[in-house]
């Protein structure tokens, strides 16, 4: 846990954020600034600042994050209509929170390519 990290605080339950999913390693919760009718984030409880910081030991955890995205997408009824998974990594991607998070967006037709 990084004491200065807002997502570490959310994952530890400090803010009372409603979780759409929780395990001992991962939580999912709604994005505070939704960009689509369904927009939630999947994060590991482990503090990893950026995707480029992922180590070989983390690879199973990253796979589990995708599995959780699928589980919650089903709960949110977007499995059949479709959804997009996004990891922003670093300045040029627009990453604001430096604790890796998987954006899951759906509930409308999404534009491609993204901006």
CB 65 within 8 A of CB 26: yes
| Contact residues: ligand DGP, CB under 6 A | 6, 29-33, 88, 94-97
- Say whether 99 is catalytic: no
Minimum distance from CB of 43 to ligand DGP (Å)?
A: 9
Question: 22 or 31: whose CB is closer to ligand DGP?
Answer: 31
Q: Which C-beta is closer to ligand DGP: that of 73 or that of 101?
A: 101
Q: Which candidate, 24, 25, 49, 46, places its Cα nearest to that of 100?
A: 49
**Tally of CA atoms within 13 A in the half-sphere of 16 that contains its CB:** 0
Q: Within a 10 A sphere around the Cβ of 45, how many other Cβ atoms? A: 18
Instruction: Report the candidate in 79, 80, 85 with the shortest Cα–Cα distance to residue 103.
Output: 85
Q: Which residue has the tokens 């999912």?
A: 28
For ligand DGP, the closer of residues 31 and 58 by Cβ is: 31
CB of 93 to ligand DGP, least distance (A): 7
39, 47, 99, 101: the catalytic one is: 101
Q: How far is the CB of 20 from ligand DGP (least distance, A)?
A: 11
Catalytic residue ranges = 101
């Amino acid at each position: 846990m990084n004491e200065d990290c807002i997502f570490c605080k959310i994952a530890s339950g400090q803010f009372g954020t409603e979780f759409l999913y929780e395990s001992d390693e991962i939580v999912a919760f709604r994005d505070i600034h939704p960009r689509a009718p369904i927009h939630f984030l999947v994060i590991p409880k482990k503090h990893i600042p950026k995707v480029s910081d992922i180590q070989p030991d983390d690879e199973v955890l990253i796979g589990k994050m995708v599995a959780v995205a699928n589980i919650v997408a089903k709960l949110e009824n977007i499995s059949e209509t479709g959804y997009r998974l996004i990891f922003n990594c670093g300045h040029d991607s627009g990453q604001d929170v430096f604790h890796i998070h998987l954006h899951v967006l759906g509930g409308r037709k999404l534009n491609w390519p993204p901006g």
